[in-house]
Structure 1
Amino acid sequence: MRQFRPVQPPTLQRASAQNAYHYQEYMPSKSLVNYIACYWTSEYDGKGIAPTSRVIPDGCVDIIFDLGAASYQKGAFLTGLMRTYEVIPFTEPQSLIGIRFYAEGAARFLRYPVALINGQHPNLEDIWGKEADEVIDGLLEASDTAERIDWLERELIKRLWMDDPADQLLLTSMNYLYEYRGNLSMTALAEKVNYSERTLRRTFQQQLGMSPKELGRIIQFQGLLQMLAKGARTSFTDAALQCGYYDQSHLIKSFHTFYGVAPSKIVSPDRANR
């Protein structure tokens, strides 16, 4: 099982979650754990003060199913790799279930280049055709979250038997970025995979629409959030140093770029002062 597990704000800030809004993540089966970070659900019952959902870059690609959508066309869509955070207000009751793919593994299931999804929200029907309708039908017929996830697992495992379109250089490079928590220069990465920096950049841009450096920064930031989410007894300063943030300005810039707030808004005073 890989070490990298992306973190989203609801997981990190459960103490401040509002009762009307519920977010939960579910682990995939062993067959899919190298491709899928998690399944997740997001529920808002429409009562009380409408919350907002903060979504941050995590190096992943999601398929999102809106179980309350009026049509298939609007009910299932994709989100590509993000470069900065987004704040989404809830204006009405909502019930979502999603599949969060690791960037390098998404193409095996989508059969579509991740690079063409970034910055867009294409309908799943445009990618999978009639298969998208069949998947949505199964989700709507399921009686609860466990049945929905079981249905998605079966549909995804079918696609494991198809030819893998992923570029081996991309897979190897991403594994190194995960191993080093994103703290790997282009020169060092090129040496490890025995390819030129130019070839690396071209491969990442063609496959993912991002450079290794951009993804490395996201993985580095996510590594810090992962440490915070685990509740380890490490001080915030020590955790930041372990993740390669050696100066405060670098750390603050990453928080503002990827999270949209200062570290003090996320880290408890007790942890910050350890």
Structure 2
Amino acid sequence: MPFQTYSPPPPLSSFIAYFWSYTGKNPPHSRRLTLPDGSIDLVIDLYDRKTRIHNRYDSEMTLASSVISGPHTDYYITDSSSERSMIGVHIKPGCAGPLLKLPSIALKDTHVSLDDLWGIVATDLRDELLYSNTVEDRFRILEKYFLLRSDWSRPSHSAVEFAIASFQQSHHPESIANMVEQVNMSAKRFIQIFKDEVGLTPKRFSRLMRFQKAVRLIRKSNNIDWADLAMSCEYYDQSHFIKEFQSFSGLTPTEYRAIESLHPNHIPLTN
């Protein structure tokens, strides 16, 4: 199988959504659009291919083969024309502290070469992955690495965990004002803690979760009433929904729906 995933058991399951692996020939598309979802991703290219990333203004960044992508408030585009063998870790929002030993705010809207963060450890990890025999072995290597090297003395703040869970609810998440009241702290203190651990303000994260709900509904619906979809995602109206969708993706909802993709947040582009 060209694309495989593995969900680790506790305690890693509280912090890591899944490990993934891709192996295949050059894809038919030359670029890939990545939509923001508040998470952090570690991507290791086992062919030692340089990573080229563009933002919405077409500014290019070239990084080493192993990259950490922080929580983004905007989409970005990656050169995918020569991808052959890659492995990665999809880290849940707000969980960088124990796993990467730094706050998510340090990675906001940026990509960092893993070598710059971990030094020789990043090289050793990549070599161990490269010379393993199977995808399952590679998943076990990553699992062992994070189990041994994570800082379990840095748990997420309970207020942040509560807020993330609320924002990710499918129906009527708590307003920020109600949330501040329930966690029994000042708005300023809550926003600062949330930004440090998640990398985004509560308001921005809430908007992202609403956008992600729309993405999921578009992908699983055969016949879409756009006005109904906008209302179900708690947008003011259809115009507000389209504007927000374009802001986060660079595409209109209808343009997004017309593009086939294996993953709702990774969209192939041909030009």
- TM-score, normalised to structure 1, is 0.77
1:210 equivalent in alignment to 2:200? yes
8 A Cα contact 2:8 2:16, kept in partner:
no
Q: Distance in 2 between matches of 1:161 and 1:235?
A: 45
1:88 equivalent in alignment to 2:71? no
Which segment drifts farther, 23-32 or 76-85?
A: 23-32
1:178 equivalent in alignment to 2:157? no
Alpha carbons of 1:236 and 1:30: their partners in 2 closer, same or farther (altered >3 Å)? farther
Q: Distance in 2 between matches of 1:182 and 1:83?
A: 22
Q: Distance in 1 between matches of 2:20 and 2:250?
A: 22
Q: Distance in 1 between matches of 2:135 and 2:256?
A: 30
1:191 equivalent in alignment to 2:181? yes
Q: Please report how far the alpha carbon of residue 68 of structure 1 lies from its aligned counterpart in structure 2 after TM superposition.
A: 1.0
Instruction: Identify the match of residue 104 of structure 1 among 94, 108, 127.
Output: 94
1:128 equivalent in alignment to 2:108? no
Counterpart in the other structure of 2:21: 41
1:162 equivalent in alignment to 2:152? yes
Alpha carbons of 1:168 and 1:234: their partners in 2 closer, same or farther (altered >3 Å)? farther
Q: Distance in 2 between matches of 1:224 and 1:70?
A: 34
Q: Please report how far the alpha carbon of residue 155 of structure 1 lies from its aligned counterpart in structure 2 after TM superposition.
A: 1.8
8 A Cα contact 1:59 1:81, kept in partner:
yes
Letter in 1 for 2:148: K
Q: Distance in 1 between matches of 2:14 and 2:22?
A: 23
Which segment drifts farther, 34-43 or 99-108?
A: 34-43
Alpha carbons of 1:88 and 1:128: their partners in 2 closer, same or farther (altered >3 Å)? closer
Alpha carbons of 1:165 and 1:131: their partners in 2 closer, same or farther (altered >3 Å)? farther
1:63 equivalent in alignment to 2:42? yes
Secondary structure (helix, strand or coil) at the match of 1:96 reads strand
8 A Cα contact 2:95 2:197, kept in partner:
no
8 A Cα contact 1:25 1:38, kept in partner:
no
Map Cα deviations across residues 97-146 of structure 1 (whole Å, 9 max, x no partner).
21110121122110112111123322223333433233212211122322
8 A Cα contact 2:167 2:174, kept in partner:
yes
Secondary structure (helix, strand or coil) at the match of 2:42 reads strand
Higher relative contact order (CA 8 A, sep 6+): 2
Q: Distance in 2 between matches of 1:26 and 1:153?
A: 13
Quote the RMSD (CA, aligned, Å): 2.8
Identity %: 24
1:77 equivalent in alignment to 2:57? no
1:253 equivalent in alignment to 2:243? yes
8 A Cα contact 2:8 2:18, kept in partner:
no
8 A Cα contact 2:74 2:109, kept in partner:
no
1:214-229 pair list within 5 angstroms: 214-229=204-219
Alpha carbons of 1:258 and 1:181: their partners in 2 closer, same or farther (altered >3 Å)? farther
Alpha carbons of 1:179 and 1:91: their partners in 2 closer, same or farther (altered >3 Å)? closer
Q: Please report how far the alpha carbon of residue 78 of structure 1 lies from its aligned counterpart in structure 2 after TM superposition.
A: 0.8
Secondary structure (helix, strand or coil) at the match of 2:3 reads strand
Counterpart in the other structure of 2:263: none
8 A Cα contact 2:230 2:238, kept in partner:
no
Q: Distance in 2 between matches of 1:181 and 1:217?
A: 14
8 A Cα contact 2:39 2:92, kept in partner:
yes
**Count of residue correspondences:** 244
Q: Please report how far the alpha carbon of residue 33 of structure 1 lies from its aligned counterpart in structure 2 after TM superposition.
A: 2.6
Q: Please report how far the alpha carbon of residue 43 of structure 1 lies from its aligned counterpart in structure 2 after TM superposition.
A: 5.0
8 A Cα contact 1:182 1:219, kept in partner:
no
Instruction: Identify the match of residue 233 of structure 2 among 231, 236, 243.
Output: 243
Q: Which 5+ residue runs of structure 1 have no aligned equivalent?
A: 1-21, 269-274
